[in-house]
Amino acid sequence: MVSRIGVVTFPGSLDDVDALRAIRLSGGKPVPLWHASDSLDDVNAVILPGGFSYGDYLRCGAIARFAPIMTELIKEVEAGLPVLGICNGFQILCEAHLLPGALIRNDVRTFVCTDQDLRVESIDTPWTCDFQPGQQINIVLKNGEGGFVADADTLRRLEGEGQVTFRYINGNPNGSFHDIAGICNERGNVVGLMPHPEHNVDPLTGPTTDGTLVFRSVVGFLAAKV
Amino acid sequence: MARVVVNVMPKPEILDPQGKAVTGALTRLGFAGVSVRQGKRFELEVDGELSEERLAEVHRAAETLLANPVIETFEVRVEAGRGDQQVAVETAEAAPAGAH
């Protein structure tokens, strides 16, 4: 059975279509989901895509976090549903307290758009299990508010429990504490990252196809589970 | 009808790039020796009488949505009486009209 992977579109989402395409190219069945729906349409995993939900009003992700579909999502996360938040999706997951910490304006005070080197720090998640431990990859990063912050206790816990999933290497682009580019929750089913793997799935439009492994990971994970 | 103000500020230990940018611009303009941190002010017009419960509700609203307690602090303040505010609003509106 082909895994059904949902992508939620909020008002102001930008990268939902790219995420749907990345799922299709990686062997999954993409399922568009709408923020105002209260059903997840029986999908096996969910991606919260990048963009500027609700125009980034108030704080990035702060309003999207209370969208009707989020109630269902939060319930399913507790049951183990794999969820990936990319960029604005990561911000939404932090605002929803599904992931610890917060994302603030880049310390460089500019929007950053770059092909970013990363190291995969943990492969113990549904979204990273196809990578090699410590694998170095290059994925596009594009955001204005990507500085990951958390208090000292949270950082200690993230590092100690292997919850840092991706780390910036060869330079920290936005002032993120501990060069953190992506994290997961304690259980590992929820992952958030600032760089955009869905843009690195086709040699025509990116310098690498390293992003494909994120989507292949979850497709493989779900296939093994059935 | 009562007006309640919620002031939100980034926590002291959290970097405030907006405040830094404003500080830099002020320094360039010759306003030396000032350091700015930038927050947000929300004005809530609350229907009915402002009971303790209503105020507690505003507090919950601030905590739930207006501020992110991970990175921000907030304070809830009740504004002065309605009469004072009307005067203030009228003064503010009168100025542009007079400039015509």
CA A118 to each of CA A44, A103, A111, A181, B13: distance values in angstroms, whole numbers, following the listed order: 27, 18, 19, 8, 27
pLDDT digits (tens, 9 = 90+) for A144-161: 999 999 999 999 999 999
Q: Which CATH number fits domain A4-225: 2.60.40.1120, 3.60.15.10, 3.40.50.880, 1.10.287.70?
A: 3.40.50.880
Nearest to A31 by CA among A225, A222, A224, A226: A222
pLDDT at B58: 96
Range of the domain at B73: 2-99
Strands (E), A109-194: 112-120, 136-143, 147-149, 164-168, 180-184, 190-193
Q: Which of B17, B18, B70 has the CB atom closest to A102's CB atom?
A: B70
Which ranges in B1-100 belong to alpha helices (H)? Answer: 17-28, 52-61, 82-99
Nearest to A50 by CA among A82, A13, A23: A13
Which pTM was predicted? Answer: 0.91
pLDDT string in tens for chain B (100-residue length): 899 999 999 999 999 999 999 999 999 999 999 999 999 999 999 998 899 999 999 999 999 999 999 999 999 999 976 544 433 333 333 333 333 3
Q: Which of B17, B65, B66 has the CB atom closest to A105's CB atom?
A: B17
| Residue A219 identity (one-letter amino acid) | V
Which domain CATH number covers B32? 3.30.1280.10
- Cβ–Cβ gap A59/B68 under 8 Å: yes
Chain A residue with Cα closest to B68 = A95
**What residues does each domain of chain A span?**
4-225
A110: distance to nearest CA of chain B, Å?
A: 10
Residues of B in contact with A107 (CB under 8 A): 15, 17
Distance (Å, whole) CA A101 – CA A221: 27
CA B77 to each of CA A79, B56, B74, B84: distance values in angstroms, whole numbers, following the listed order: 41, 12, 10, 16
A66: distance to nearest CA of chain B, Å?
A: 9
Which ranges in A119-198 belong to alpha helices (H)? Answer: 152-160
Q: Looking at the 3D structure of chain B, how many domains does it have?
A: 1
pLDDT at A226: 67
Q: Which active-site residues of A does the annotation give? A: 87, 196, 198
A5: helix, strand or coil? strand
